[in-house]
Amino acid sequence: MTRNLTEPARQTPVRGEYDVVVLGGGPAGIAAAVAAARAGRKTLLVERYGFLGGMGTAAGVTNFCGLHANVHGEIRQVVHGVADDLLQRIDALGGLNTPHALFGKTVAQAYDTAAYKIAADDLMLSAAVEVLFHALAAGVVMDGERRVQALLLETKSGRCAVLARAFIDASGDGDLAAWAGAPYALGDGHGNMLYPSTMFRVNGVDPQRAGKAWEAIPKLMAQAESEGRYRFPRKGAIVRPQKSGIEWRVNLTQLANAQGNAMNGVDATELSEAEVLGRRQIASVAGFLREVPGFEQSYISDIAPQVGIRETRRVHGLYELTESDVLDCASFDDTVGVNGWPLELHLKGDVEFRWPKIPESRGFNQLPYRMTVPQGLDNVWVAGRCASMSHEAQSAARVTGACFVMGQAVGAAADLALKSGLVNAEVDVPTLQRALEDNGAYLGRRW
């Protein structure tokens, strides 16, 4: 039986009052905060770490996925707007790779995490976004059943509250929306979520000898397992060079609990166990990599600060993006941008990709505004991997490109809602679409 402790009543100091408060500093939160602030709104971005980037930095992803799509056989960048501003800043710091081919069907784009952190800081300053680092969200205070009045935070200065007229949940886990009472799903409805990974980087690689090592490594893994020398947590190795060829990123772990299911990223105990398991797997994988030509002198240069979480809560919105929407390249009247990434299902022991018809199709689906509006709440939006999607669709639209799209859309929508005195579901979509396109976003309404 769980024991409960009654805490004494307390007076919580209000740290500030804002037009818009954004929870989470990943790509969705970055784009949301910039869009709201550039519209003239007093905006606060709350981030648990001391830097921005979300899974892209805290989980060491070091790779932008979903910025591009295979449009009738031609690779095109389909995510623009705030994303372009960030990419330009990373590139100016020398931290952005040219896009690299994946599976002969699309591309991804690697970056340096240090450059990403610096560029994101500069972007916030340029847009006059106030950022509160090292602040862990702990709950909400409601104003009635449908409106959030305040977000409660735990900081090094103690517990505090921030008040706002509009809140954007870009936490990845849907924390704010869930605390406020929005309905949500966890995984596929049967407790199965996309498996997390712990990313790491190795240095000391000889790029000439390594060559296209990503093509040889799967065969070497199979050989090592057949000889009984290694047992890998999953297939589908992703081992690719960073901008400097002597440093490579490695995505080859898979974190399961004692029952063999994906570790639960919103369960404190399982999340702690995942951190230890990830590092244990990395030690073994790094040993194997030193058998790969060009990697003989390689060493672990960095282990991500946290486990890379792919899926936890998915908040139920006014529309749920589906697997068929992704694979059939669906269009929506209320489009706010596009997703060009395929389904990427991290299943037990493997990674499964499911693609739209390429090159026959346009290679992307539009993302409807309604998927960012949670059921039962009037002044809250969700953006990023916690938005309203099915388990399968989330495996595609959880990646960076779609997160930028949703973030910029909800930041602009929050401004329009405040300007017109309307709730989130009543925002005039054509006006929102014009605002997004005026600020460089691509909505997928041509090509």
**Triad 319, 320, 326: Cα angle to 5°:** 120
CB count in 10 Å sphere of residue 418: 19
Amino acid at 398: R
Output Rg (C-alpha) for the chain, integer angstroms. 21
Residue 379 confidence (pLDDT) above 90: yes
The whole-number average pLDDT for the span 279-292 is 96
The whole-number average pLDDT for the span 307-334 is 98
The whole-number average pLDDT for the span 352-367 is 96
pLDDT digits (tens, 9 = 90+) for 293-304: 999 999 999 999
**DSSP-assigned states of every residue in 305-357:** SS-B---SEEE-BSS-B-HHHHHTT---TTEEEEE---EEEEETTEEEEE---
The whole-number average pLDDT for the span 309-323 is 97
- Of 222, 215, 235, 189, nearest to 100 by C-alpha is 215
Residue 43 confidence (pLDDT) above 90: yes
The whole-number average pLDDT for the span 160-168 is 98
Name the pLDDT band for 436 (thresholds 50, 70, 90).
very high
Pairing status of strand 184-186 against strand 313-315: antiparallel
Residue 83 confidence (pLDDT) above 90: yes
Beta bridge partners of 140: 151
Residue 179 confidence (pLDDT) above 80: yes
The per-residue pLDDT for 107 is: 97
The whole-number average pLDDT for the span 428-443 is 98
The mean pLDDT of the chain is: 96
The per-residue pLDDT for 203 is: 97
CB-neighbour burial class of residue 220 (10 A; exposed 0-12, middle 13-18, buried 19+): middle
Name the pLDDT band for 271 (thresholds 50, 70, 90).
very high
pLDDT digits (tens, 9 = 90+) for 382-435: 999 999 999 999 999 999 999 999 999 999 999 999 999 999 999 999 999 999
The secondary structure of residue 426, as a DSSP letter, is G
What stretches of 334-440 adopt beta strand conformation (E)?
335-339, 343-347, 350-354, 365-368, 380-382
CB-neighbour burial class of residue 84 (10 A; exposed 0-12, middle 13-18, buried 19+): middle
What predicted TM-score, i.e. pTM, was given to this entire model? 0.96
Name the pLDDT band for 367 (thresholds 50, 70, 90).
very high
CA distance 164 to 373: 17
The whole-number average pLDDT for the span 140-146 is 98
The per-residue pLDDT for 168 is: 99
CA distance 412 to 436: 7
- Of 77, 22, 44, 115, nearest to 444 by C-alpha is 77
Name the pLDDT band for 191 (thresholds 50, 70, 90).
confident
What residues contact 54, with CB distance under 8 A and at least 6 apart?
24, 25, 26, 27, 28, 29, 172, 384, 403
Place of tokens 């093509």: 215
